[in-house]
Chains A and B, each alone.
Chain A
Amino acid sequence: MIAFAGACSGSSTDEAAAPAPTVTVSTGKIISPASLTIGQAVPAPKEKPILTLTGKISTGNQKGALVLDRPTLERLGVRQVRLYEPWIKENMEFRGVLLQDLIAVAGVKSDAVKLHIVALDDYAVDFSLAEVRAGGIMVATRAGDGSTIPIDKGGPTRIVFMDGVKAGVNPDQWVWSLKTIDVV
């Protein structure tokens, strides 16, 4: 159990000054450690991209955007968590990377305030950066058994919230089949 107190991995200085609300969440067991950290260049995708970050980021790999294939995304460090899936209405296991690690690697600019997340069907929700930095939000890339997630199960990537994370109370925030994350 790790208590996340906000600015654990944030690059922005304003985060440290104003600690976000303390939440106690499970970040699960580490399946593979991070091999891609802050400040490192992110290689261009070799495989079929599964997620693209755009907007106010400083680390891009394709015309200012950060286009990620599965291996690159999973280099952020894969964890396995068990949580309650509000749509399927049962506890399920997922593997994936933490959203806060993703935006850290993407180098979110200091004037950014939120993430505008768009799904393959153009469904969109907004997460505030504070919410994201408070932790407990995962970009799931695989099911608990390690298999990739098909589109009709919400894949290839989807947002899941650890149990107890405030932002995840509303099931509408559980975006599946992510297409892009626009930092605004």
Chain B
Amino acid sequence: MRMFRRRRSEDAFATDLVPVYEARQWQKVVQAVLVLVMVSATIGVLGIVVRNSVLLGRMTAEVSDAQQRTTNLHQLQFSAIQLRLTLIELDAGGDPDAVTIRRGLLGRLATVVRLLFPASSSQARQLQEIQTELDRFPWHRLEGKGHDRTVALSAAKVLVAQVEVRVKAIYDVQEKFFYDATRESLEAKRSSENALVVLVSLVVVMAVSWLILLRRRARNRLVLAYAALLSEVSERRTLQDQLSHQAFHDALTGLPNRAMFLQELTATMRPAADPASGPSVVLVDLDGFKNVNDTLGHAAGDDLLRQIADRLRECVRAEDTVARLGGDEFAIVVPADTGHEALAVSRRLIDALMSPITVAGQEISISASIGIARLDGQDTADDLLSDADIAMYAAKKAGKDRYEVFRHDMRDQTLQRVRLEQQLGRAVANREIEVFYQPIVDLSADRVTAVEALARWRHPEDELVSPAVFIPIAEDSGLIREIGSDVLRQACVTVQQWRQTVPGSKDLSVTVNVSARQLLSGTFSGHLFDALRDSGLPPTSLTLEITESLMLEESDTVVAELARIKSLGVRLAMDDFGAGYSSIALLLRLQVDVLKIDKTFLDLDNREQGTLIRAVTELGHTLGLTVVAEGVETTEQLAHVRAAQCDAAQGFLLARPMPEAATRRHLEVAAQLLPAANT
């Protein structure tokens, strides 16, 4: 049996364990979001970095080129200036060779610089033009003399000055480009660095978050493994299970409550890999617990439940879970039932309940009706429990103090029963319960001296519903009290009316059935008194039929109630005498006036029939009781009954139960025939 109070240390990790399941969902979401953010951030940042590095690579090359061009343009410009200076020196009588050298150097540099630019570029074109102009210039005229040389020198100076200006223009543009390219590449570099910083930060944040989650998951896995090792504790445990013991346990018995029971059951149903060893549910419903509560008080009832809980705990194995579902209903989860375990538990339970329980100073016997349902295709714990409930119902119906194993056909019966119960409730409210009367014939006078009032349910669709069907339902549902008092009232009024109006019926008495439930309610004698007063029926003309089963529920309430009834002058009849176990002492103690022999005696074969009826009748007479034979259906039976000297008889042979109007007619006809019969 699962311990409902776990050790403190176990609690500690079990509480820790809970967020695994609580958090599993949000963890997944968080992880998904983290992955998403991380992936998109990485893509974004990498995009920037890649773009920038491509840009930077291009820029670096461009800057490098630009730098080279700029430097060389600068040299070219300088070279032009030097040529101009050389020309000026030549004017002042310098070396013509120097001019040749400078011109050559300028040309060489112009070529080199031009080749630094793409051939199609404007710079290349301009530099080509400069070169061409330098090449076409008649430099040899500088080596001449006189005016021609002077003119050539002046022209050379102008040409070189123009070259200088043009190179300067190219240089300026190139310089600007160089600075722009440098700035752009620096910006790209900075942007890349920023993006990388962002990426690194993100990665760090992600990694930390991830680690936390991983740690949590890893820890939980460890805890799970440890927990499973310890006591097969697995996922089924929940936060509430651990944190609020009370929410999942019955305060009275300390057993797990319905909610926890369903959880446990669900948990055992889940890993049903082997269908041959699924869990079973054993549903235990105490028989007649309500009587204990009603007669001994709630404190005694609670005490009884605690003691029952203890006995249940002793009957189950360590792996079974006992729970109190509510009221006097207990349930046991038998995990991995191969078909024997649940039955064994049930047998042990019934045995354990056989020894009396001392409650409030009294020894009482209590039994249980047990329903067993094995996992067999049920989807939910509720379904399985419902099947066990149906089986338990079947056990109750079969006579209580036993177990029944669920069968599928039970379900239909139960459904019908539930439907009937609902309809019966409506029928009672709508006064659809009718009173029928069955005449009882005095065998010495051969006349109807009494009628038995019987409740009949005239169902709107199915016409009359058999009392055998609806009375047990009424008993179980508690409707019997309303039906009983209603029938009692009607019977008193009707029979008193007949006594006053039907000739020959002024001594007519009436017999009304009273159930244990009615007597136990403690309010029955009050209703009885009201019915007698309101109808005017003399109490001595009323007989209340009680059953032997009432003896099983013997209690002070019942005894006191019966004493009050007797004190009013109302007679008592023991119904169905001989059907169960008979206690002569009880007959005396309850001051029974009438003994009604159960009709099973009449069903026996002729010889035994006569003997037994005679014996019972003699017994009744010995005790000073009036003896009535029930269920007389044949003339032979009637002959036996007569021979046994029964005082009265009733049965289909004499008269069937009839509606009020028909009974009245029957009485009227009998009264007319009576004088003739007597004469």
With A121-B79, A121-B82, A151-B100 in contact, is A177–B112 under 8 Å at CB? Answer: no
With A121-B79, A121-B82 in contact, is A151–B105 under 8 Å at CB? Answer: yes
B108→A151 contact, CB < 8 A:
yes
- CB interface residues, B 66-95, toward A, < 8 Å: 79, 82
Distance between B164 CB and nearest chain A CB, rounded to angstroms: 15
A152 cross-chain contacts in B, Cβ below 8 A: 103-108, 111
- CB interface residues, A 144-164, toward B, < 8 Å: 150-155
A151 cross-chain contacts in B, Cβ below 8 A: 100-101, 103-105, 107-108
Say yes or no: is A17 at the interface (Cβ < 8 Å to chain B): no
Chain A contact-residue range equals: 10 to 19
- CB interface residues, A 121-142, toward B, < 8 Å: 121
A154→B108 contact, CB < 8 A:
yes
Please tell me which one of the listed residues B100, B101, B115 contacts residue A88 in the complex, with CB atoms under 8 A apart: B115
Distance between A168 CB and nearest chain B CB, rounded to angstroms: 16
B105→A121 contact, CB < 8 A:
yes
Q: Mark A95-138, 1 if CB is under 8 A from B, else 0.
A: 00000000000000000000000001100000000000000000
How distant is the Cα of A169 from the Cα of B563 in the complex, in angstroms? Answer: 131
How distant is the Cα of A58 from the Cα of B112 in the complex, in angstroms? Answer: 37
B101 cross-chain contacts in A, Cβ below 8 A: 120, 151, 177
B107 cross-chain contacts in A, Cβ below 8 A: 151-153
How distant is the Cα of A121 from the Cα of B103 in the complex, in angstroms? Answer: 11
Report the nearest A residue to B79, measured CB to CB.
A121
Chain B contact-residue range equals: 10 to 19
Distance between A166 CB and nearest chain B CB, rounded to angstroms: 20
Report the nearest B residue to A176, measured CB to CB.
B108
B105→A177 contact, CB < 8 A:
yes
How distant is the Cα of A150 from the Cα of B105 in the complex, in angstroms? Answer: 10
B104→A150 contact, CB < 8 A:
yes
Most chain-B Cβ atoms within 10 A of its Cβ — which of A89, A121, A152? A152
With A121-B79, A121-B82 in contact, is A177–B115 under 8 Å at CB? Answer: no
How distant is the Cα of A121 from the Cα of B83 in the complex, in angstroms? Answer: 10
B105→A87 contact, CB < 8 A:
no
A120→B105 contact, CB < 8 A:
yes
Distance between B132 CB and nearest chain A CB, rounded to angstroms: 12
A177→B111 contact, CB < 8 A:
no
Distance between A141 CB and nearest chain B CB, rounded to angstroms: 15
B108→A89 contact, CB < 8 A:
no
How distant is the Cα of A120 from the Cα of B102 in the complex, in angstroms? Answer: 8
A87 cross-chain contacts in B, Cβ below 8 A: 111-112, 115
A154 cross-chain contacts in B, Cβ below 8 A: 108
Distance between B103 CB and nearest chain A CB, rounded to angstroms: 7
Most chain-A Cβ atoms within 10 A of its Cβ — which of B82, B103, B111, B112? B112
A89 cross-chain contacts in B, Cβ below 8 A: 115
B108 cross-chain contacts in A, Cβ below 8 A: 151-154, 176-177
Distance between B322 CB and nearest chain A CB, rounded to angstroms: 91
Report the nearest A residue to B134, measured CB to CB.
A152
Distance between B129 CB and nearest chain A CB, rounded to angstroms: 16
How distant is the Cα of A35 from the Cα of B74 in the complex, in angstroms? Answer: 43
B115→A155 contact, CB < 8 A:
no
A177 cross-chain contacts in B, Cβ below 8 A: 101, 104-105, 108
How distant is the Cα of A152 from the Cα of B108 in the complex, in angstroms? Answer: 4
Most chain-A Cβ atoms within 10 A of its Cβ — which of B101, B106, B108? B108
How distant is the Cα of A154 from the Cα of B115 in the complex, in angstroms? Answer: 14
How distant is the Cα of A120 from the Cα of B111 in the complex, in angstroms? Answer: 17
B104 cross-chain contacts in A, Cβ below 8 A: 120, 150-153, 155, 177
How distant is the Cα of A45 from the Cα of B79 in the complex, in angstroms? Answer: 29
Distance between B105 CB and nearest chain A CB, rounded to angstroms: 5
Distance between B86 CB and nearest chain A CB, rounded to angstroms: 11
Report the nearest A residue to B112, measured CB to CB.
A87
B103 cross-chain contacts in A, Cβ below 8 A: 151-152
Known A88-B112, A120-B104, A155-B104; 5 more pairs at CB < 8 Å = A88-B115, A121-B79, A152-B103, A152-B107, A154-B108
Measured CB to CB, the residues of B under 8 A from A are 79, 82, 100-108, 111-112, 115
Show 16 A/B contacts (Cβ-Cβ < 8 Å), sorted by A: A87-B115, A88-B115, A120-B101, A120-B105, A121-B82, A151-B107, A151-B108, A152-B103, A152-B106, A152-B108, A152-B111, A153-B104, A153-B111, A154-B108, A177-B105, A177-B108
Q: When A and B form their complex, which 5 residue pairs have the shortest distance between CB atoms, in order from nearest?
A: A151-B104, A152-B107, A152-B104, A87-B112, A121-B105
